Every structure is written in C-alpha cells, then in structure tokens.
Amino acid sequence: MQQPDKQQITTYLQGLQDQICRALEVADGRGTFREDHWQRPGGGGGRSRVMADGAVIEKGGVGFSAVEGEASAATLRQLNLTEPADFYATGVSIVIHPRNPRVPIIHMNVRYFELSTGTYWFGGGIDLTPHYVVPEDARWFHQQLKNVCDQHDPAYYPRFKTWADEYFYIPHRQETRGIGGIFFDYLKESGSVSKADLFAFHQAVGESFAPIYTHFMQQNRDLPYSPREQHWQGLRRGRYVEFNLAWDRGTKFGLETNGRTESILMSMPPQANWIYDYHPEPNSPEADTLTWLQKGIQWVDM
C-alpha cells in the first residue's frame, strides 16, 4: 500500500475544509463563510473561513493551514527535541459557537506534523461543549466517535476518550471544558499499523464532524430559550476562553510559530461573560450541568 506524503495529506485537508464548510452552510440555511488567505512570514500559510450571524451559528471558524520553517526554541522544547530541525505542519481546525444555548459548542482539529529529521506524526480530536449537558445527547455523541474508532482499532476509543478527559480539562476551575470526546497526538506507524492506516483513521475522524454537528444543529436549533439561558451561555463561553488561552497547546503552538493571530484566535466566542465568584442556584439546570463536568464519566460501554 502506498504511504501518503505530506502533499497528499495537505491536499486532502484542503478538501476537508471545503466539505465541512458546505455542510455547515446548508445546515445553517442563512450564514455563509468569509474566506481570508494568509501567508506566514517564516513559510507557508492558510485559508481562514469565518461565519458570523448565521441562523444557527453565531460565530464559527473553519481554518486550514500548512506552515513550515525552522522550529523555534520553544517548539523544540515542546516536542522534547534537542537538535535543530525544520518542521512542516498542516491541519484543519474548527470551533463553532451557536446562537441558541441549547445547541452545543463543538471543536475539531485534525493535523499532521513532519520534521526534517524524518519524524512525523498525526494528531487531532473532536470534543463537545454543551451549555446544558443532556445525557442522552452526550451518549449519542460518544457512540458516534466510538463507532469511528472501532472501525480502525477497538483500543482507540478507550485510549483516546481518556486522553480527551485529561486534555480538555481546566485545572484552575477543576472542571472539564465539556463532555469530552476523543483526543490523540504523536500517532506514528508501529508494528502492523502503517502510515496509510493512520491516515485513514485521521480521515475518518475529520469526516465524522459534519454529520455529528449538523445533527445537533437540526435537533436543537428551534428549542426555546430565555435571557436566563443566554446568561449561562455567556459564562460557559468564558470558561471556553479560559481553556483556549491558558491551556490549549494548539493556540500556544500557533502563537509561538508566528502564525496569523486572527486565525489562531478565531476560536473565541463573539461574546463571553465573567461574574466574580458566581455559583448557580442549587438544584437548577445550571448546577446540574456542573455535576457532569468531570473526568472519567463512561458515556458508552467501552
């Protein structure tokens, strides 16, 4: 079986961006993506696409990038490398902030990284951040991801689900960002698993995004909400901002490699709120949601 090279992977990811944007525009029914092409001074560039003021999507970003150059000292430290090296990194990254608080926030990233030393790896993941956790929806979401993983390796879902619980965690709040999903990084060929096998899994994760999220868009878009739910939505968006700016490795990598700031920060919500020492009313839907924001919840049978 022919092993994919970086150009084949890059071309695929450009097409994935196109596919996802078309699906989101159709599901939204009103919003369209604005596209910006950008160049990175150190090498490479990308296409940033942002939707604002859609019928369902208040703000959503679907970004593609392919950047290259000499790895900075900070990047070498992050990758545990001691010798200088050039890097090539390409990926698609998505964050969608819906208008209706009953529709969840979603994030996906699929990426490929290669060094001039010959080392390469795949990474990525997809996770869901409901403003209000609905256990039935959480189970459905996790089952979709498990189905994708099981088609490639039954060990993937338990491993990558646990990894997501650990990664999408806000230590200073002692809560998860949402209900998790899957997260993987540094996937390299080993044993009977080839680079082509890993790329096939990488593709399957990327192509799961549109069916999963358009399901939630259609199911929840017309559910009623009031200023109370919008107030809570603003606070949960604030938690999302805290994670992305304080803990997300992708944000740090982009800023440290002189990526385009507007593209890196397109994951930020259009509005977010912070209230000092806020605590929801006991036994309220908001308080109930906080009880689900913890590691280790087994949404589906492993």
Tens of pLDDT along 211-243? 999 999 999 999 999 999 999 999 999 999 999
Q: Is residue 299 part of a domain?
A: no
- CA 205/CA 148 separation, integer angstroms: 7
Q: Is residue 196 part of a domain?
A: yes
97 is catalytic: no
Contacts of 271 (CB under 8 A, 6+ apart): 234, 237
**How confident is the model at residue 74, as a pLDDT?**
73
- CA 2/CA 296 separation, integer angstroms: 39
Q: Single out the catalytic residue among 97, 107, 131, 142.
A: 107
Give the residue numbers spanning the domain of 221.
6-291
Q: Is residue 265 part of a domain?
A: yes
Q: Is residue 301 part of a domain?
A: no
**How confident is the model at residue 302, as a pLDDT?**
79
Report residues of the chain scoring pLDDT below 70.
Answer: 1, 78-80
Which of 81, 27, 35 lies closest to 54, judged by CA?
27
**How confident is the model at residue 263, as a pLDDT?**
83
Distances (CA, A) of 170 to 124, 180, 234, 263: 19, 12, 17, 23
Domains in the chain, number: 1
Q: Is residue 230 part of a domain?
A: yes
Q: What is the CATH number of the domain that holds 220?
A: 3.40.1500.10
Which tokens sit at 209?
A: 């995004």
Mean pLDDT estimate for the chain: 94
**How confident is the model at residue 257, as a pLDDT?**
73
Q: Is residue 297 part of a domain?
A: no
**How confident is the model at residue 249, as a pLDDT?**
84
**How confident is the model at residue 175, as a pLDDT?**
97
- CA 229/CA 102 separation, integer angstroms: 8
- CA 37/CA 175 separation, integer angstroms: 36
Q: Is residue 283 part of a domain?
A: yes
**How confident is the model at residue 1, as a pLDDT?**
58
Q: Is residue 300 part of a domain?
A: no
Q: Are strands 44-52 and 57-70 parallel, antiparallel or unpaired?
A: antiparallel
**How confident is the model at residue 260, as a pLDDT?**
82
